[in-house]
Structure 1
Amino acid sequence: MATALSYKNPPSLTKEKSYQQWKNEVKMWQLVTELDIKKRGLALALSLQGKPREVALEITPEDLNVDEGVDKLIIELDKLFEKDKTDQAYAAYTAFDKYHRESSIKMCDYIIEFEQKYNKCKKYDMPLPDAILAFKLLDNAGLGESDRHLALTACSDLKFETMKAALNRIFASKSQSDNDIVTVKEESAFVGEHRFDRGRSSRRFGARNRMNRSFDQRNTQSKLNPTINGSISRCRCCDSKYHWFRDCPHNLTLIM
Structure 2
Amino acid sequence: MDLDPGLAALGALGGFFVLRTGAPPSMPGRPLPTLAQAYAPAAPDPLGGVHGDPLAFRVRKVARSLHAPEIRVAASLTHQGLAARLWSVALGCAVLYGRVPDLDPRLLHWDPDGTMPDELWLSEVRPLPVGSLDAVVREAHLVPLTAALNSRYGVSRRLLWGNAGSALAGSVRMFGDWARAGGRTEVAERARALAAESFGHPGLSGTLDPVTGRRRSCCLYYRLPGGGLCGDCCFDRPPGRG
Same fold? TM cut 0.5:
no
Of structures 1 and 2, the one scoring higher in RCO (CA 8 A, sep 6+) is: 2
TM-score (norm 2): 0.28
Instruction: Answer 1 or 2: which has greater helix percent.
Output: 1
What is the TM-score normalised by the length of structure 1? 0.27
Largest Rg, 1 or 2: 1
